[in-house]
Every structure is written in structure tokens, then in C-alpha cells.
Structure 1
Amino acid sequence: MSNGGSSQPRPTRNDRREAAREKARLLREEQKKRDRRKKVIVQSSVIVGVVAVAGLIAFLIFQGIKPAGPGPRNMASDGIVLQGVDGVITAVETPALQPGDDPVPTEQDQSGDVANIVTYLDYLCPYCGQFESTNSETMRTLVESGAATLEVHPIAILTNKSAGTQYSLRAANAAGCVADSSPEAFFDFNEILFENQPEEGSTGLTNDQLKELAAEAGASSQVNACIDEVRFKAWVLDSTERALSGPIPNAEIPAVTGTPTVLVNGKSYGGSLTDAAEFQAFVTQAASESSLESTDDPSATPTPTPTPAQ
């Protein structure tokens, strides 16, 4: 009588051992395949990462060695020259300095009839702020009346004093942007930058704030992209280095050693930064001395005296 069980013989111990070995072998083969696929994926990822990093490095290097563009127009001397024409402050127009060009010294009036005021300023320098807030209106009046010219050199010696934002450099660049495309607004922009001067060590003004101040001073919207791009960064760095290394044309000092550096007819002003009367007296004296020197110079051509009308 049958019990209905399987007719297959029961696996022996050796059969079970061989089956286990075969299963283990298959598992090892599958694991090896998985390991090879994983290795390929990892290697591919590494290669992609290396290519990406290499691309980034190449981009940064390219940015670092990108040829510098020209400097701002109307600043061929590294400064902008402002003069009075019919009671209005206007800029002397000059072409932009090309990369590698030396600045062109300004031909100053040597007659003594006009005071040639030259300033080297850093827009983060608190002492520059004191000088400007004290004497800006005096210089405006002198320039508008034709009694003086004003040559402003924005430099950046406090670039690392603004919590990493490079405000000093960005502000000098913004001044270059205004000189380049809206020179008629430069005096007001220079003045308004000091009226809104941030504290040394702070983050300074943002680019958007610089653009707002430029618009308030009457500059065109063309300055906006220039400010955002820091278009004249290379020029700011070069002109700052030139000011610090010298020589300074038309001056009794060899180089700028700090800001503000203020010259009147080549003579360095070392008086009070907060006394407008003292600076005005210095301007008058320097112009007077230049007039005497011009009179004493035997090579000077005398100015003919007008013949009275008959």
C-alpha cells in the first residue's frame, strides 16, 4: 500500500554540500559583477568631478589673467580735472588710458591767477571725509568762479578695511564710472559719497547704494553696469600703486603717503582738516606765491597790457 510520497531519492550529504558550494559560487560571481558595476560608476563620477573642477579652475585662471580693459575716460592723469565754465563745473575731456599706458600729467596754469587744487582721496578714509565736509563748498565756489581748478584722484588704500567687501576699491571704481560716462556729475558724486561715508571697518555701501547715489548726483544709468562689473578695477589698482610709488607730477612731494593728500599749485597742505578758513588762506597764499614766482621767472612771457579804449 502506497503512502503517496515523492519518488525522488533524498539528497545525500555530498549532494547538499555541492549544491551549497554552487550557490555560494553563484553568489560570489554576482557580487563580483555588482562590485565591477559600482567601480565603473565611482570611476565615472570621479572623472566627471575632476573635469568639472578642472573647468572651474580654468575659468578662474582665465578670469585672473583676462587682459585689463582701458581706464575711464576723462582721467588721463589718473584724476579728473574740473573747471568752471560760465559758472558751471565741467570736466576737461581726455581719452581713456589704455592698458600699459603711463598717465598724462595735467598742464597746470602757471600764471598764479588760478589755484590748481589736486586731491588724492580714499572714499573710506575718515580724514578725507573731514577734509571734504569742511572744504567741499569752498572748492565748489572757487571752481565755479574760475579762481581754481580741482583735480580729483580716487585711490584705494583701505580696500581691506571693509569686512571683505572691498568698499574702498568699489567706490573708487564707481567714481571712475561716473567720470567716464557722466563727468558733469562727478563733483556732486564725489561730495555725496563723503556725505554718506560708511565707517572704516564696516561693510561699506552696496553696489545698489552706490548706483542710487550716482543717480542722485545726476549721473546717467550707464554707470550701473560699470559699477556692478567693477569695470575699472585694474585701473584703480594701477592708479593707486602709481600714487604710492610716485612720482607725483607738478608737486613738491615725491609720492602719496596717506590720504587725504592735498596740493595747491604743487605745495602740500598740512593744516587743519576741519578749518575751512585755514585751507582757504593756504589756497590764497599758494596762488600768490606762484604769481610771484612767475613774475620773477626771466623766461616767463609778460602779459601785454590792454590798450585803453579811445
Structure 2
Amino acid sequence: MARNGGASAREQARKLQQEQERKQKMQSLMLRLGVVAVALVVVIGLTFWVLTREDAGSYTEGDAPAAANEQGGFVLTSSTELAEGEDLGRVDSEELEEVPIGEGADGLPTGVQPREEGQVPHVIIYTDPGCPACGSFESAYHGLLMQWLDAGAITLEYRSVNFQTAYSARAANAFACMADESPENYFDFLGTITAERAQGADYSNDELSSRAQNDYGVNISECIDDGTYRAFVNYTTTLATANGATATPLIWVDDQLAEPYMETGDLIMAAVQEYQDETGEDLLGIDEQDLEEIDEEGAPEQSEAEDGEPAEDAEEDEDDAAEETEED
């Protein structure tokens, strides 16, 4: 009997040990599964953050580049020089009561005014880097604008807006970053990136940073990634809308609107010719054949904002439309 009791006790002990080992294995498995689950949550969260951080946020209040003027424009006095800005500090696109809107001569947009005798013609361009027509304009006119600028025949002001897609905001922010960090490259960077939109370019923040680094040796990745001037872009866009600029490209040569915008060259030529007659200087230096070739090529119509408000996440709609077109 004692032997049987001992065997029973050993069997019970063995079963208890097996049960304990089973529980330990289960606990170990659950622990590993928990670690994997947490890791997956972290990875998914980080992935979502990376994918959405470029376009997330309301961006209503933030810093403005020092070179910007009160309407969100950057004034070029040559292809490598920006005029001194108004040092706006922080801007808020939802608080614009004190910003002059529509106070130009004869109700023109702020900053648009007739040229006074002896004054260099001033060109203002409302442009959207996500606008294919703006890309076509830069492709056609960028070289001519550079010639006029460097000849001292015009001053040129870009007001970059965000009407089209979330890409518009990213690229316009990158332009502002370049204006702040490396103003001598602002004109070429804006012109090149915008022109490539005509071929469908839609660059990520990393790609915009790489272009700045590789093409100009300028590191503006932190400014681009942080969206430092995204609020400023919305500020400029809100002012543009208030001034009646709801389509891009929209170009003023002094107080003359280029409508259609491909008449820009003729308007500039006329203004510069008047300026030359007044000053006796010979600044034109543009072959009229260049303008004739541009006119013959033609270009798409202006791109209009649907509601005149800064674009947020319109890229998905644009992709859907492209897919529908391919299906048709």
C-alpha cells in the first residue's frame, strides 16, 4: 500500500510539474505575442505618422520668412537677389483684420498699382506649384524673366498659393524655406520645381529636400519636414483670395492684368519699352521671336480653386480622377 501511495504521489507531482511547465510556456508565448503586438502598433503608428505628417495639421499660425512682404510675396530685384522683406514675424491666416486687402489704386489688389514715370516695371505672379498651367508658364517664361530681371528691366514678385493639392502646400513651403535659407537660389528653385508640375511632378518632402541639397547644395530638410512656413503659405493664400486671385497663374504687369496669362511677355515688353523711352536706357535685350514661339505653342487654361480656400487633402481626389480616366 505504501508503495502504491508513493507511485500515486509521484504521478501527481509529475502532472503538477507538467501543468506548471505548460503554464510557463503559455505565459512566455503570450509575452512574446504581446511584444509583437506592441511592436506592430508602434510600426503602424510610425508609418501612419510618416505618411500623414507632410499634410497634417491646420497650419493657421506660424512664422513668416524675413524676406516676405505683407501680402506673402517675395520680390526679386535680380534672379539671385531678394528685396528686403517686412519682417512679419508670426502670421495667422485666421486673424487678418490689420492686413491691407484690396487697397491698391482703383480697387486693384494690394501692391498692384500703375507704374510711375521712371520706375522699373513691377510684375506680380500668383502661382501654385501644384498647378499644371503654372508649370507650363514657368517652362515658357522662366528664362525670359531671368533675362529681364538681370538686365534691371523689371522687378518680379511671386506670391505662392495653395489652391490645388496638398502638394501645393508642401512645395510652396519649400520655396519659402529656400527664400529664407538661400535667397540666391529661390528664383531658380521655384521655377524649376513649378515647371516640372507640367509633366506631373508631385514630390514628397524628402524629394524636395533632396532637390535642394543635390541641385543647390542647400540643406533645408528640417524646414521642409517641420512645415515651418505652411501657416505662412495659408496666410498668403487667404490674402490672395481676398484680393480676388482665385485662379493661377494670375499675372499683373504694373496695373495691367495678363489675360490670358500667355500675354505676359507682350505686356512686359510694352512696359519695359516705355521705361526705356523715359530713361534712355537700352534694357530690353529680348528677341521678339522668343515671344512669338511661346504664343504659337499655347498653354493650358488657368487652374481655378474650387472654393478659393487653401487646399488640404485634395491629392486623393486627384488620384481617383486619374484612375477613372485610365479606366475609361
Q: Secondary structure at the match of 1:233?
A: coil
Q: Which of 209, 212, 223 in structure 2 is aligned with 1:210?
A: 212
Match runs of 1:244-255 below 5 Å: 244-246=237-239, 248=241, 251=243, 253=244, 255=245
Q: CA offsets, 1:63-100, max 9 Å, x none? A: 8789976233312432211125xxx7631222254253
Question: Following the alignment from structure 1 to structure 2, what is the Cα–Cα distance between the partners of residues 66 and 108?
Answer: 30
Q: Secondary structure at the match of 2:268?
A: helix
* Number of residue pairs aligned between Structure 1 and Structure 2: 250
Q: Which of 54, 71, 81 in structure 2 is aligned with 1:90?
A: 81
Partner of 1:70: 63
Change (3 A) 1:282 1:234: farther
Partner of 2:299: none
Partner of 2:129: 123
Match runs of 1:1-310 below 5 Å: 21-42=8-29, 44-45=31-32, 53=41, 70-76=63-69, 77-83=71-77, 90-94=81-85, 95=87, 97-98=89-90, 100=92, 111-112=115-116, 113-159=119-165, 166=167, 168-194=168-194, 196-197=196-197, 199-200=199-200, 207-213=209-215, 215=216, 221=217, 223-224=218-219, 226-227=220-221, 229-231=223-225, 233-236=227-230, 238-246=231-239, 248=241, 251=243, 253=244, 255-256=245-246, 258-265=247-254, 267-273=256-262, 277-280=265-268
Q: CA offsets, 1:134-165, max 9 Å, x none? A: 233443344445553211123344445xxxxx
Cα pair 2:72 2:232 within 8 Å, conserved: yes
Structure with bigger RCO (C-alpha 8 Å, 6+ apart): 2
Q: CA offsets, 1:86-143, max 9 Å, x none? A: xx76312222542537686675665534433221223343211221232334433444
Identify, as 1 or 2, the structure richer in helix: 2
Q: Report % sequence identity.
A: 22
Question: Following the alignment from structure 1 to structure 2, what is the Cα–Cα distance between the partners of residues 99 and 33?
Answer: 66
Partner of 1:294: none
Q: Which runs of 5+ in 2 are unaligned?
A: 101-109, 276-328
Q: Secondary structure at the match of 1:81?
A: strand
Partner of 2:107: none
| Amino acid paired to 2:190 | N
Shift of 1:180: 0.3
Cα pair 1:269 1:282 within 8 Å, conserved: no
CA-based RMSD: 4.6
Shift of 1:179: 0.5
Question: Following the alignment from structure 1 to structure 2, what is the Cα–Cα distance between the partners of residues 179 and 145?
Answer: 21
Change (3 A) 1:208 1:244: closer
Shift of 1:263: 2.7
Cα pair 1:117 1:264 within 8 Å, conserved: yes
Question: Following the alignment from structure 2 to structure 1, what is the Cα–Cα distance between the partners of residues 185 and 34?
Answer: 54
Question: Following the alignment from structure 1 to structure 2, what is the Cα–Cα distance between the partners of residues 107 and 207?
Answer: 31
Q: Which runs of 5+ in 1 are unaligned?
A: 1-11, 161-165, 216-220, 288-310
Question: Following the alignment from structure 1 to structure 2, what is the Cα–Cα distance between the partners of residues 229 and 244?
Answer: 20
Question: Following the alignment from structure 1 to structure 2, what is the Cα–Cα distance between the partners of residues 136 and 130?
Answer: 10
Normalising by the residue count of structure 2, what TM-score does the alignment of the two structures yield? 0.56
Cα pair 1:169 1:233 within 8 Å, conserved: no
Question: Following the alignment from structure 1 to structure 2, what is the Cα–Cα distance between the partners of residues 267 and 66?
Answer: 35
Cα pair 1:71 1:232 within 8 Å, conserved: no
Change (3 A) 1:37 1:245: same
Q: CA offsets, 1:160-198, max 9 Å, x none? A: 5xxxxx4x4443233212210221332233333345557
Cα pair 1:171 1:210 within 8 Å, conserved: no
Question: Following the alignment from structure 1 to structure 2, what is the Cα–Cα distance between the partners of residues 183 and 83?
Answer: 11
